[in-house]
Amino acid sequence: MTKTHRLMILPGDGIGPEVMAEVKKLAEWLGRHADIGFETDEDHLGGASIEAYGVPLADAVLERCRRADAIIMGAVGGPQWDHVDYNIRPEAGLLKLRKELDLFANLRPALVFDALVDASSLKPEIVRGLDILIVRELTGGVYFGEPRGIETLPDGQKRGYNTQSYTTSEIRRIGRVAFDLARKRGNHVCSCEKANVMESGKLWREEITRLHDENYSDVTLNHMYADNCAMQLLRNPRQFDVIVTDNLFGDILSDEAAMLTGSLGMLPSASLGADGVPGLYEPVHGSAPDIAGQGKANPLATILSFAMALRYSLDRGDLANMIEKAVQDVLSSGMRTPDIMAAGCTEISTDAMGDALIAGLEKTMAEAA
């Protein structure tokens, strides 16, 4: 019997709605041609939600997210909301969604597709075959630590402050995710912090080491200071398999790793919580307001995020593999959105990229039949 999955779709701002249109097209196509069904719900997040409801994430929308099997998001933010308060900025909607669902594990793969090896700003021999998975802690650390604020000092100056904090259980649960995933990949975890200057980093290193010794001694573990990791990612990125790190370092290192691949427009992500909680899937790229509405956006990162949803939340790794292969094929055939355009290739629109991907899937299915 065909199983029906509930998808909550949050297109968000900027290029979000355009790239999400291609995911909707793909989900409909799968519903018609594969043994899977989708029941989709859709609403606003971020700036679009501020305009519609006055808040970046409405409570009623959050409740519908909780009832979904997986949540797919486009992107949030834009210059028109740059000057509003932190708690009602578009980004606050995304942070609230992560926090409310306790989506503590953010998986950000950085994969160099063979066809795009020249798009990287590093030499092809350094990045060819690169396959890193960054596991970023997503609901703790300085993003959420208290106290935080801006206060006025007696002498009239102001002081801005945030708190970095991690508990044993927060460190251990993200550590487990990293070690478990490493076992299915290269069996190597590099844990990053600043244990040389921060107590929270010292504890992070101790807890990861203890967890490793207790339950994961079959996995190779090394520790690195986060600044060294930033440097090593440029010097010799292929030394890494899984990198586990905190919220802030993970934010920075994942952007760096993404850029190694040459296109932010290609990279998906998954944010996972406890069993039974819907995962949140989103492209790593932002809302790119400068190109919004022009059909220039690359929908592949969002499509690959949908593939991650199939794998991690819907238990359909087979369909995820099929979509990932179709992405490789479409790239090998030379079809490119402007962000990954290269000499000798054909430049196509967002919509045409979605169609080309589906045409590839149609061909794969016909061959298999």
Closest approach of ligand IPM to the CB of residue 255, in Å: 7
Task: State the nearest-atom distance from the C-beta of 242 to Mg ion, in Å.
Answer: 19
Task: Provide the 8-state DSSP code for 2.
Answer: P
What minimum distance in Å lies between the beta carbon of 42 and ligand IPM?
20
Interface size with ligand IPM, residues (CB under 6 A): 4
Among Mg ion, ligand IPM, none, what does residue 340 contact (CB within 5–8 Å per kind)?
none
Nearest to 353 by CA among 336, 340, 341: 336
Span interacting with Mg ion, options 145-153, 229-237, 248-256, 290-298, rule CB under 5 A: 248-256
**Residues 229, 193: Cα–Cα separation, whole Å:** 9
Whether 251 is catalytic: yes
Q: Are 253 and 233 in contact (CB under 8 A)?
A: yes
**SS3 of residue 302 by DSSP:** helix
Can you point out the beta strands (E) in the chain? 3-12, 36-42, 70-75, 105-111, 131-137, 149-152, 158-161, 188-193, 220-225, 242-245, 268-272, 279-283, 335-336, 346-347
- Chain-centre distance for alpha carbon 140: 17
The question of whether 255 is a catalytic residue gets the answer yes
Decide whether 138 or 307 has the Cβ nearer to Mg ion.
Answer: 138
Residue closer to Mg ion (CB basis): 103 or 310? 103
CB of 286 to Mg ion, least distance (A): 8
Task: Name the residue number minimizing CB distance to ligand IPM.
Answer: 91
Give CA–CA dist 104/271, Å, rounded: 7
Contacts of residues 27-34 at CB distance under 8 Å and 24 or more positions apart, as own/partner, are: 27/306, 29/358, 29/361, 30/319, 33/361, 33/362, 33/365, 34/319, 34/365
Whose tokens are 């997986």? That residue is: 70
Residue 91 binds which one of Mg ion, ligand IPM, none, with CB within 5 to 8 A depending on kind?
ligand IPM
The catalytic residue among 24, 43, 69, 143 is 143
d(CA 70, CA 316): 12
Q: Is 194 a catalytic residue?
A: yes
> Taking Cα atoms as reference points, which of 241, 249, 270, 269 lies closest to residue 130?
241
Residues in the chain: 369
Residue 106 Cβ vs ligand IPM, minimum distance, rounded to whole Å? 8
Rounded to whole angstroms, how far apart are CA atoms 242 and 191? Answer: 8
Catalytic-role residue among 251, 281, 329, 339: 251
**Closest distance to ligand IPM from the beta carbon of 268 (Å):** 12
In this complex, which beta carbon is closest to Mg ion, that of residue 174 or of residue 356? 174
Which among 58-66, 90-98, 173-181, 340-348 is the span making contact with ligand IPM, rule CB under 6 A? Answer: 90-98
Of 41, 131, 227, 355, which residue is the catalytic one? 227
Q: Does 91 bind ligand IPM (CB under 6 A)?
A: yes
Using rule CB under 5 A, residue 251 touches Mg ion: yes
CA distances from 115 to 91, 152, 327, 349, 353 (A): 33, 54, 11, 18, 16
User: Max alpha carbon distance in the chain (Å)?
Assistant: 77
- Give the residue with the Cβ less far from ligand IPM, 68 or 94: 94
CB within 8 Å of 160: residues ≥ 6 apart: 149, 150
Selection from Mg ion, ligand IPM, none that 94 binds (CB < 5 to 8 A by kind) is ligand IPM
Q: Which does 45 bind (CB under 5 to 8 A by kind): Mg ion, ligand IPM, none?
A: none
Regarding 251 and contact with ligand IPM (CB under 6 A), the answer is yes
Q: Is 41 a catalytic residue?
A: no
Nearest distance, CB of residue 338 and ligand IPM, angstroms: 23
Sole window of 87-95, 247-255, 267-275, 335-343 interacting with Mg ion (rule: CB under 5 A): 247-255
Per-residue tokens: 251? 């934010």
Asked if residue 94 binds ligand IPM (CB under 6 A), the reply is yes
Q: What does 339 bind: ligand IPM, Mg ion, none (CB cut-off 5 to 8 Å by kind)?
A: none
Which does residue 137 bind out of Mg ion, ligand IPM, none, counting CB within 5 to 8 angstroms by kind?
none
Which residues of the shown chain bind Mg ion in the complex (CB under 5 A)? 251
**What are the residue numbers of the active site?**
143, 194, 227, 251, 255
Which residues of the shown chain bind ligand IPM in the complex (CB under 6 A)? 91, 94-95, 251
